[in-house]
Chain A
Amino acid sequence: MLKTILIIEDDTFLQRLETTKLKKEGYNILTAVNSVEAFKMIELNKTVDLILLDLLLPEVDGFAILEKIRKIDTTKNTPVIVFSNLSEEKDVSRAKKLGASEFMVKSNFTLDEISQKIKTLIG
């Protein structure tokens, strides 16, 4: 059965590139551009195997979303890769404290490398 990844990313171009790559790698992809869409996706799809989460999002940022993800029964143990171009130590620390499995700076990785990381987390 296909593993499902939820991509929470407001830049639709980057979202499209990530989706294209990960679909090619054999994953089922759900997408959201903000917190409302993200939690709707989580409610409708009980099995989300991994979440790829941007931080700078409109209205509700990625930190607040991550905090809520860790309180929902179906996602409290779901691996979350925080995927952002913020890289300040305070941001990485905060993400880790809120339960991020990994923090990856987008511009430091190719889509292949992100896909490899995802494979190590969910296969």
Chain B
Amino acid sequence: MNEEQELKIKKLKQENEKCKELQSAKSDMISISAHQIRTSLSAIKWIMKMFIDGDLGKLTTEQENLIKKAYEDNDIAINVVTELLEASKIENAEEKKYSFSEVNLIELIEDSIFDFSGEALSRKIEMIFLKPETKFPTIKADKQKFRVILQNLLENSIKYSNLNGKVFISIKEKNGLIEISVKDSGIGISEEGKKNIFEKFYRDTTAEKKECVGSGIGLFTVKKIVEGHGGKIWFESTEGEGTTFFFTVPVYKGSK
């Protein structure tokens, strides 16, 4: 390699580092901005609820109806902020290269369930992990990206479930592959949706009927990440009854 080429490579590396720093700064800015907005929305949510519950004195019927509407609209704003945050996270996950290491899948699933325990509680949804009783093999995965798969599927199962529903998470090993499933008893996917559910920006009519806010890029990215790990993803669904997503990942050959 000559001096000019070496200089070009050095410059490219510097530009690459700069891009990474900018990306990181952008992520931090989005996170902090979301935090600020959510703080204000939290205060509004709590006060509205106190009015609705009669904690701040009796309301007229008209006042109560107006405040209930404001409370619902505020919740929509909160969901939009959450979706923007998620879309930003997913965008970052798509762009980075994979960094594989041996991963304990049981722990990763338990951590992801913990992450969503609050949200599930708020919707009175029970998350049940059917954990294997015997020792389970590890996988080779990009832990950050793999977490995006689990978070996306868990979040969807909670979001599209009806109140007091159950979400079952299970894993099994078969023929050198680990199969993970996330099952809900929620709104299901329409026949039209089944053909397009993994398309970027696609949102099923069932989701829109339930007035769930969503960016539509989650499952597109989940599929890419699953395939990036050498796995497959598919689902079974009945509209009005629920959906089960399945995906596979190869067992780590060095697993004991």
Binding site for B on A (CB under 8 A): 11, 13-14, 17, 20-21, 24, 56, 84-89, 92-93, 96, 102-113, 117
Among residues of A, the one whose C-beta sits closest to the C-beta of B41 is A107
Residue pairs across A and B with Cβ atoms less than 8 A apart, 12 shown, are A14-B39, A14-B42, A21-B55, A56-B35, A85-B35, A88-B85, A93-B111, A103-B115, A103-B118, A107-B38, A108-B122, A112-B53
Flag whether B34 is at the interface (Cβ < 8 A). yes
Binds A, one of B43-51, B163-171, B218-226: B43-51
Contacts of A21 in B (CB 8 A): 46, 50, 55
Least Cβ–Cβ distance between A123 and chain B, in angstroms: 17
Contacts of A14 in B (CB 8 A): 39, 42-43, 46
Contacts of B82 in A (CB 8 A): 87
Interface contact A96-B39, CB-CB below 8 Å: no
Q: Which 7 A-B pairs have the closest CB atoms?
A: A85-B38, A107-B38, A106-B42, A107-B42, A110-B49, A104-B118, A85-B35
Contacts of A85 in B (CB 8 A): 34-35, 38-39, 42
Q: What is the bound-complex CA distance between A107 and B41, given in angstroms?
A: 6
Least Cβ–Cβ distance between A81 and chain B, in angstroms: 10
Interface contact A89-B115, CB-CB below 8 Å: yes
Q: Which of A11, A56, A96, A111 contacts B49 (CB 8 A)?
A: A111
Q: What is the bound-complex CA distance between A20 and B43, given in angstroms?
A: 13
With A86-B31, A107-B78 as known contacts, state yes or no: A102 contacts B118, CB within 8 Å.
yes
Q: What is the bound-complex CA distance between A11 and B49, given in angstroms?
A: 19
Interface contact A92-B85, CB-CB below 8 Å: no
Interface contact B114-A13, CB-CB below 8 Å: no
Contacts of B50 in A (CB 8 A): 17, 21, 111
Interface contact A109-B118, CB-CB below 8 Å: yes
Interface of A is mostly: helix
Among residues of A, the one whose C-beta sits closest to the C-beta of B124 is A113
Least Cβ–Cβ distance between B22 and chain A, in angstroms: 18
Contacts of B49 in A (CB 8 A): 110-112
Q: Which of B31, B41, B81, B111 contacts A88 (CB 8 A)?
A: B31
Interface contact A108-B43, CB-CB below 8 Å: no
Q: What is the bound-complex CA distance between A109 and B118, given in angstroms?
A: 8
Q: What is the bound-complex CA distance between A107 and B45, given in angstroms?
A: 7
Q: What is the bound-complex CA distance between A96 and B116, given in angstroms?
A: 13
Flag whether B191 is at the interface (Cβ < 8 A). no
Contacts of A93 in B (CB 8 A): 111, 115
Least Cβ–Cβ distance between B14 and chain A, in angstroms: 27
Among residues of B, the one whose C-beta sits closest to the C-beta of A82 is B118
Contacts of B85 in A (CB 8 A): 87-88
Among residues of A, the one whose C-beta sits closest to the C-beta of B56 is A20
Interface contact A111-B115, CB-CB below 8 Å: no
Q: What is the bound-complex CA distance between A68 and B33, given in angstroms?
A: 28
Q: What is the bound-complex CA distance between A73 and B111, given in angstroms?
A: 27
Q: What is the bound-complex CA distance between A55 and B217, given in angstroms?
A: 30
- Chain B stretch 68-96: residues in CB contact (< 8 A) with chain A: 78, 81-82, 85, 89
